[in-house]
A and B are shown apart, each in its own frame.
Chain A
Amino acid sequence: MTVSAPTRPRSAAAVPAGRPRRRLKPGRPIPFGAAIGPTLLLAVWAAGSAAGWIDPRTLSAPWTVVTTAGDLIADGRLQDNLAVSAQRAGLGLAIGTAVGTVLAVLAGLSRWGEAILDGPVQIKRAIPALALLPLLVLWFGIGEQMKVVTITLGVFVPVYIHTHHGLRTIDSRYVELGESLRLRRTAFIRRIVLPGALPGFLLGMRFAVVGAWLSLVVVEQINSTSGIGYMMELAREYGQTDVIIVGLVLYGLLGLLSDGAVRLAQRKALSWRRTLAD
């Protein structure tokens, strides 16, 4: 009896009472968890610069960057360029989001819409923004129009893809419910389709806001006379690593902040959901 015991599969009674069951969820959220990774990165950078492992011509020290940022703010260059950039990104983001959402709803609710719209969007998705730029410059010139169009093109694709997916994966039982309640088309879209596609839309927005800043880099470093990208391009010509870093940090911060804003919106708007992360 005692001999056969170890070969038997462990029964539930063999587990000591009070030992917690294995948790399959990731566990409690870590306070300020999102800040830990970036802080570590910053620490490595600072330590490297202080110890002299990093050549300031390759990568300026964090404090140099901070001082340079202070100088740029003092003479107003940073604010001016940031305002121009923000306006471009915001405008492109707004138009792109609207276009992506409308196209997704059209393609999601009608077979004809999907047949006509989905193919071209997928083709656009496969073409990098940089590759389209020569054509856009020919069409729209090198002014603001070209820049906003480029950003719009970069933004509408993720919004479309994720909203369309969210829409298509709405449980058909809810559609049946709408039919049984004889919902009008507008009410159906407003009460079932759009809220049902909202998780997908917001995920698309997270890609879109970051994508807007990415497209901005592309357009501002080509034939531009203002904006953060222009400021960095100018710095490259004069070999000012610190200004380039200021621009990079700015892009990173902007991307992080806008992503955070969307995530906040996500938490507010999707408070009805219970998911793995909660």
Chain B
Amino acid sequence: MATHAGGLTASRAVRVHNLARGFGDRVVLDGFDLEIAPGEFVALLGRSGSGKSTLLRALAGLDGDAAGSGLVDVPENSSVVFQDARLLPWQRVLDNVLLGLRGPDATERGRAALAEVGLAGRERAWPNELSGGEQQRVALARALVSEPELLLADEPFGALDALTRLRMHALLRVLHARHRPTVLLVTHDVDEAITLADRVLLLDSGRIAVDLAIDLPAPRSYRQPQFLAYRETLLRALGVDETEG
């Protein structure tokens, strides 16, 4: 029986204990602990080099070349969305979504996933023919079609223009509400983190400097006073003083 996140079966939580990762002499993470509740949407903020991508790659099991130790307990069924859409240019859109998907109803599920991200009818298109935002939506469909319990996203909207990014935020909120996967979203955009996440973690030199629960009613907007308060807290922790600008 397939496990449908958001159905009766709850997602498993993420548990990281005493994680150490380094490249050569450089220690990126050391004695790192993290727990994420099932279905929770966590945004991971941090400056470049703070170790956020290293953590995400450790959770995704994509860091075979890094030296390290520690316990990483993540659901078997997890998906990754990269900063680039990373679609295979030689496969049509639907085949990209179906990559790695098995089962007799795979094609139907792939079509449904594409329809969910608003790309019904583009199944036969080549990735080259899509805009950047559309390509990233295909990547989202590919990540969600396997109904993952954990979605790992590494700055997925970083390469998109501001308007497209806002649309993608709305889409991701809808998809998260519907499928309820546990999400770890790596980003450097404070507003994106507050808009999307239940909890924002701020990583600094391999440690969690700020662990902030976001308690805002939907739809979240800059006009909410609490939004601005969260924003100020996080920006200050990142060492940005807005009065300077």
A interface residues (Cβ-Cβ under 8 A, vs B): 173-174, 176-183, 187, 191-192, 195-196, 198, 270-274
Cβ-based interface call for B60 (8 A): yes
Stretch at the interface among B37-45, B83-91, B174-182: B83-91
Q: Quick one: which of B62, B91, B126, B128 contacts A191, CB cutoff 8 A?
A: B91
Cα of A271 to Cα of B125 in the assembled complex, Å:
12
B84 touches A198 (CB 8 A): no
The reply to whether B99 and A195 contact each other, CB–CB distance below 8 Å, is no
B54 at the interface (CB under 8 A from A): no
A166 to chain B, nearest CB (A): 12
Determine which of B86, B95, B100 lies in contact with A182 in the assembled complex, contact meaning CB atoms within 8 Å. Answer: B100
Q: Are B88 and A192 in contact (CB under 8 A)?
A: yes
Write the chain B residue with the least CB distance to A274.
Answer: B128
B89 touches A180 (CB 8 A): no
Q: A183-B100, A272-B128 are in contact. Are A177 and B82 (CB under 8 A)?
A: yes
Report the nearest B residue to A181, measured CB to CB. B100
Contact of B86 with A174 in the complex, beta carbons under 8 Å = yes
Chain A residues within an 8 Å CB radius of B84: 173
Q: Which residues of A contact B79 (CB under 8 A)?
A: 180-181
Q: When the two chains form the complex, which single residue of A176, A183, A271, A274 contacts B99, counting CB atoms closer than 8 Å? A: A183
Residue pair A272, B100 in contact (C-beta under 8 Å): no
| Docked-complex contact A272 and B82, CB < 8 angstroms | no
Q: Could you say which residues of chain A place their CB within 8 Å of the CB of B128?
A: 272-274
A272 near B62 with CB under 8 A, answer no
How many interface residues does chain B have, given as a range?
10 to 19
Find chain A residues with CB under 8 A from B99 CB.
Answer: 177, 181, 183, 187, 191
CB distance from A45 to the nearest CB of B (A): 43
Q: Are B91 and A195 in contact (CB under 8 A)?
A: yes
**B-side binding surface: helix, strand, loop or mixed?**
loop
Query: How distant is the Cα of A179 from the Cα of B4 in the complex, in angstroms?
Result: 23
Query: What's the nearest-Cβ distance from chain B to residue A199, in Å?
Result: 9
Cα-based distance from A174 to B62 in the complex (angstroms): 12
Q: Which residue of the partner chain A has the closest CB to B98?
A: A191
Q: Which chain B residue has the least Cβ–Cβ distance from A171?
A: B86
Number of A-B contacts defined by CB within 8 Å = 46
Provide 5 A-B residue pairs closer than 8 Å at the C-beta atoms, listed in order of the A residue: A177-B82, A181-B79, A181-B100, A195-B91, A198-B90
Inside 8 A of A180's CB, which chain B residues have their CB? 60, 62, 79-80
Contact A191 B80 (CB under 8 A): no
Would you give the shortest CB distance from B45 to chain A, in whole angstroms? Answer: 23
Knowing A180-B62, A180-B80, A187-B100 touch, does A173 contact B86 (C-beta < 8 A)?
A: yes
Cβ–Cβ < 8 Å partners of A198 in chain B: 90
Q: Which 5 interchain pairs have the tightest Cβ spacing?
A: A181-B100, A180-B80, A195-B90, A272-B126, A183-B100
Closest-CB distance, B27 to chain A (whole angstroms): 23
Most B-side CB within 10 Å, residue of A181, A192, A271: A181
**Minimal beta-carbon separation of B94 from chain A (angstroms):** 13
Separation of A192 and B80 alpha carbons in the complex (Å): 17
Q: A174-B86, A180-B62 are in contact. List 18 more A-B contacts (CB 8 A).
A: A173-B82, A173-B86, A174-B88, A177-B86, A179-B61, A179-B62, A180-B60, A180-B79, A181-B99, A187-B99, A187-B100, A191-B95, A195-B88, A271-B126, A272-B89, A272-B128, A273-B128, A274-B128
How many whole Å from B14's CB to the nearest CB in chain A? 16
With A and B bound together, what is the CA distance between A191 and B84 in angstroms?
Answer: 19
Docked-complex contact B90 and A196, CB < 8 angstroms: yes
A273 touches B80 (CB 8 A): no
Chain A proximity of B121: nearest CB distance (Å): 19
A183 proximity list for chain B (CB < 8 A): 99-100
Query: CA–CA, A182 to B88, complex, Å?
Result: 16
Q: Which of A173, A177, A179, A272 is in CB contact (< 8 Å) with B90?
A: A272
Residues of B near A182 (CB, < 8 A) are 100
Assess whether B88 is in contact with A176, with CB atoms less than 8 Å apart.
no
A183 closest partner in B (C-beta): B100
Whether the Cβ atoms of B89 and A273 lie closer than 8 Å is yes
Give every chain A residue within 8 A of B126 (Cβ-Cβ).
271-272
List of A residues within 8 angstroms of B62 by Cβ: 176, 179-180
Bound state CA distance, A272 and B91, in angstroms? 8
A182 to B95 CA separation, bound complex (whole angstroms): 16
Please indicate which of the listed interface residues B86, B90, B126, B142 has the most CB atoms of chain A within 10 Å of its own CB. Answer: B90
B62, B80, B99, most chain A CB atoms within 10 A: B99
Query: In the bound complex, what is the Cα–Cα distance between A196 and B88 (angstroms)?
Result: 9
Report chain B residues within 8 Å CB of A195: 88, 90-91
Interface residues of B in 38-86 (CB under 8 A from A): 60-62, 79-80, 82, 84, 86
